Amino acid sequence: MFNWLQYFADWLIYTVFGLTHGTKLGDAVNFFVFDTIKIFILLGVVTFLMGIVNSYFPIDKVRNFLTKRNWYGFDYFLASFFGTITPFCSCSSVPLFIGFVKGGIPLGVTLAFLISSPLVDAVSVAMFIGMFGWKVTIVYVLSGIILSMIAGYILGKLKLEPLLTDWVKQILLNKQIEDNSYQEEKQTLFQRLPGIAKEALGIMKGVSLYILIGIAIGGLMHGFIPTGFFEAYISKENPLAVPIAVIVGVPMYSNAAGVLPVLQVLVQKGIPIGTAIAFSMAVVGLSIPEGLLLKKIMTTKMLLIFFGVVAACIIISGYLFNLIL
Amino acid sequence: MHEEKKYRDMKKNIKVLGPGCTKCKTTYNNVLEAIKQLGIEADVTKIEDIEEMMKYNVLTTPVLMIDDVIKVKGRVADISEIKTLLTA
């Protein structure tokens, strides 16, 4: 699909810039140019397509959908699925949480949404396609949804409501079925497109710096670290590699845009792909800044349980990835 | 006296809701810039406290409210858009 782009990068670097093919510098620059253009094309396409879906299923509609009737457990899937198509700014997590539980959506279902939303989004999908190809992307998206469902279900079964902070409990006590009349936009797809395109451009602009830095670091590592370098240290046989990768990744705060270009190179140099995906899930899905935001609604104990359950699910999926990929 | 009341009625009340992330700050600055460019006076309030924010029943931030009506939610409104909303 991107052969033409590789020709272009080769031509630009080796012919126009006159760098020699096969040198470390030439390889690193070629990698940078090729990956940057490829990622921005993919990112544009994926954010735009997801923007279209999202414009028909905005968050208010999702909430109404989930509150309207009893889904008998199917709501875990719906919440996780809708989480993937809803663009997410981590500072929205608290209002979102309150809005969901206030509307009568079970705690576990709400948490499933909160887990899946940052884990699988347009940016991570575009980055995965660009860095690891379609097969790995599909496995990532599916496991992101399944993982959110399972973690949400476990957290729901743990009956954590008493561990919410007091003001949230107050809200839950006084919850009433509000007038959730959601006004559907009556615009045609064609009328929506300018807004969707603007939104997609905004998302791209927001992550572009991360992408450039991520790919620049990746490019350097690509050119200068010998292939198979990490195999000696982190192999599939080492049972501790996945948990360590996840524990290191949880406190880190970045998005898929910054992490995946580096991970792609690490995988090329010998790190097992499952371990790498588990690491990126931990970085993207959980972080200290997110924890600080959630402290507003969760007591420390609940926060630790939340992080623990999600991290455990990521570790398990890391092992599974290593088995099947 | 009459003039003053009329003036007060016209004065827009703008609220920006958001816990203080970059998007919320950008929205707030865009509001200030839009008001400056239009040369109007307005009460601009920034609501950063989440408990306060929840009274407005919002799901995604930042939220831009003009005269207590939610105009934009979940995304940054740019200057020209805010100007249109304010003059409408």
Whether residue A324 is predicted with pLDDT greater than 90 in this model: the reply is: no
Per-residue model confidence as pLDDT tens digits over A211-265 = 899 888 888 887 777 777 776 666 666 788 899 889 988 888 877 888 898 888 8
Question: ω into residue B62 within 30 of 0, thus cis?
Answer: yes
In a domain, B53, yes or no: yes
Mark yes or no for CB contact B60/A92 under 8 Å: yes
In a domain, B65, yes or no: yes
In a domain, B81, yes or no: yes
Mark yes or no for CB contact A167/B76 under 8 Å: no
The reported pLDDT for the residue numbered B9 is 53
The Cα-based distances of A85 to A116, A141, A168 in angstroms read 9, 11, 27
Q: Give the number of C-alpha atoms closer than 13 A to the C-alpha of residue B83, restricted to the C-beta side.
A: 10
Q: What is the CATH number of the domain that holds B77?
A: 3.40.30.10
pLDDT of chain B, 88 residues: tens digit per residue: 454 544 545 788 999 998 877 788 889 999 999 999 988 888 999 998 888 887 887 888 888 999 888 888 888 888 988 998 888 7
CB < 8 Å to A99, chain B: 54, 57-59
Q: Residue for token digits 């092992």?
A: A319
CA distance B13 to A212: 40
Q: What is the ipTM of this complex?
A: 0.75
Structure tokens belonging to residue A33: 């140019």
Domain count within chain B: 1
Mark yes or no for CB contact B50/A89 under 8 Å: no
Q: Residue for token digits 């009459």?
A: B2
Q: Tell me the residue range of the domain where B22 lies.
A: 18-87
B49: closest chain A residue by CA: A296
Contact status of B20 with chain A (Cβ, < 8 Å): yes
In a domain, B6, yes or no: no
Hey, which residues of B are catalytic here? 21, 24
Q: How many Cβ contacts (< 8 angstroms) between chains A and B?
A: 51
Nearest CA distance, B60 vs chain A (angstrom): 5
In a domain, B36, yes or no: yes
CB-CB: which of B23, B24, B59 is closest to A96?
Answer: B59
The reported pLDDT for the residue numbered A189 is 80
The Cα-based distances of A290 to A98, A221, B51, B54 in angstroms read 15, 29, 17, 18
The reported pLDDT for the residue numbered A68 is 79
Backbone angles phi, psi at B16, to 5 degrees: -115, 120
Residue A60 is which amino acid? D
CA distance A185 to B33: 29
Could you please report the per-residue DSSP string of B28-76?
Answer: HHHHHHHHHHHT--EEEEEE--HHHHGGG--SSS-EEEETTEEEEESSP
Mark yes or no for CB contact B58/A94 under 8 Å: no
Per-residue model confidence as pLDDT tens digits over A11-49 = 888 888 878 777 778 888 888 888 889 999 999 999 999
As a whole number of Å, the end-to-end CA separation of chain B is 26
In a domain, B5, yes or no: no
Mutate to test the interface with A, among B50, B63, B69 (most CBs of A within 10 A): B50
Lowest mean pLDDT among A131-140, A179-188, A220-229, B78-87: A179-188
CA distance B74 to B63: 6
Backbone angles phi, psi at A266, to 5 degrees: -60, -40
In a domain, B52, yes or no: yes
Q: Which residue has the higher pLDDT, A79 or A255?
A: A79
Averaged over A97-106, what is the pLDDT? 87
Mark yes or no for CB contact B61/A91 under 8 Å: yes
Contact status of B24 with chain A (Cβ, < 8 Å): yes
